[in-house]
A and B are shown apart, each in its own frame.
Chain A
């Protein structure tokens, strides 16, 4: 071999074909009309269409609620898992992580069946349940990672300086575990914005999310508008990852 950097060629090729090229295609389609002429109409259509905008607002709202619920449930779970006195074996962690190994669609379908059997009406509640169920491991894992690596002497030092364990937790443990929380937020919030399968199965498409209208447009061959919506979502993802970037840089973050 001439140079070791040549070894990366297959990966570069892969990235170009499957990542860079599709992105360029999205960009091109988003600014073209059906005849292939340059236009801004697709973008302006989104900002003037009431339906699109309200779907977008609902998506953001659901994503925020889902993220908040995941933090509220996931943080205590991660904290308990990281404490040796409560969690004596690795099995418990695996149990929490295991749902990640099963296809999300399968789990969602099963959850929908469960609700049908129990006679629970599908709607916002079932949607959030499904989302929390799907995304909770992605919140628990990065927080658990940070907490279990955290030097115990920080909390001890706080207690030594006169803090009750409760105050030591809020003043030291929580601030020091924020990189893990931001990692979790990144991994839960953004996929929720673009999800469509969960809302389709768990609300029977009663609640439409941003991902749903992209899927609908693409399915009905409205490539250009679909691409424009995808482009807008990409920008939102970009902004939110930039916002959390420096916050989760400390060690222990997942990304």
Chain B
């Protein structure tokens, strides 16, 4: 018997030409509680439905206990699903809902009776056998939905945002119960949610998905403490995400100061992203410990802790959580432990686009727009004296994040798009703009935009680098 109960290999899926999942590789261990976590539209439900068998993959396969599930219909797969809105059969009472799967398999009546009673006891719904499912509360329906699935003793239980419809208090209680049920039953749970807190509480392993790609796989502590990129850092918990420079191994510079850290192997003077959790910035009165000072801008009581926003001496905004409040306006001394500084390689340092040079303009391909070449610095002659660029030559254009301007008027710029993702970096916003043709541009700006805003995109002639594409490439 292999330890991998489910092994997903090179799985891809598109709907109407739009890729929802791209080359997913993932295995799930026997008895594990795995959470697929991501914002809506990240592909997590699609992945779950493919495991359940409701969708066929375009490419790749799913193995269960080492055997492929290709072509096996959902009713022959040894797994059961708890649906998002429970999907309890309204024409059957609680008992018949739970017994549905067993009756289909032709289980003897007394055995059905025994097993239904047992699971109803397990979900603490013993006295509800004859009740009409529509008279039950959300939490009770939830329990019946779970009972209806686990009574069939599936090898894997799939849960599609099962707590999304419950109120906060109920959700917390059900989280504890689910965890307890998982421990008692020993069944593998695959859980889909967009709620990062739920994922952190419940899971043995979290799989963070975004845009159809796996961002990170790890234990809740791994994911929280060592996010691999700014998306994961931003999506899981509160965080300060900042631009920094790796000076050398174990030494990093950000918010205008140099800090010791524990990361190595980034090279020297490399631009990086820094994540510091708000609870990892400490107040001190010891001048020897102080790394930087800041002015408290706001202080809000959050129940267990206070949440404060401070302006550092270098003009960056940081969020800090501490058990003690500090008065607004006061100047405080702060330090960060080397362990608590998470250094991440930058996914990109500028917009890299490709296009065709036509003397007066460069026709960029994706996103599609024309860039005026007037005033731009073009590559000079090659060593052999030929012009580097001929009309029709392919060129690479590098546009710094700061040289992209966003405009209110969507028709005023070179192209237009919508604000797709926003990251606050302490002293500016780093925005991802998705253009109409599906291309992406990344922008640094001081202006405040909202997710989903429609914007025009203009390019400032500042710091743009143009080079000829390698013929061979």
Contact = CB atoms under 8 A, between A and B. Distances in A.
Interface stretch (A28-36, A67-75, A149-157, A235-243): A149-157
Given A160-B75, A162-B75, A162-B152, A176 B104 contact: no
A39 interface: no
Nearest to B158: A160
B81 to A, nearest CB: 5
Contact of A154 (B73, B87, B104): B87
Contacts of B88: 157
Interface string B140-179: 0000000011001000000000000000000000000000
B465 interface: no
Given A159-B74, A160-B80, A161-B100, A151 B152 contact: no
Given A156-B54, A157-B81, A163 B87 contact: no
B85 to A, nearest CB: 7
Contacts, number: 55
Nearest to A167: B104
Given A154-B89, A157-B89, A172-B89, A163 B83 contact: no
A156 B89 CA distance: 11
B80 A161 contact: yes
A10 interface: no
B382 interface: no
A158 B81 CA distance: 10
Nearest to B160: A153
Given A153-B83, A157-B81, A157-B83, A163 B104 contact: yes
Nearest to A175: B91
Residue among B52, B87, B148 facing the most chain A CB atoms (10 A cut-off): B87
Given A162-B101, A162-B152, A163-B104, A157 B87 contact: yes
A167 B91 CA distance: 15
B114 interface: no
Contacts of B73: 159, 164
B392 interface: no
A159 B91 CA distance: 17
A162 B89 CA distance: 15
A66 B54 CA distance: 39
A161 B87 contact: no
Interface string A118-153: 000000000000000000000000000000000101
Interface in B57-89: 73-75, 80-81, 83-85, 87-89
A161 B54 CA distance: 13
19 contacts: A153-B84, A154-B87, A156-B74, A156-B83, A157-B81, A157-B83, A157-B88, A157-B89, A158-B89, A160-B75, A161-B75, A161-B101, A161-B148, A161-B149, A161-B152, A162-B152, A164-B75, A172-B91, A176-B90
Closest 4 CB pairs of A and B: A161-B101, A153-B87, A157-B87, A175-B91
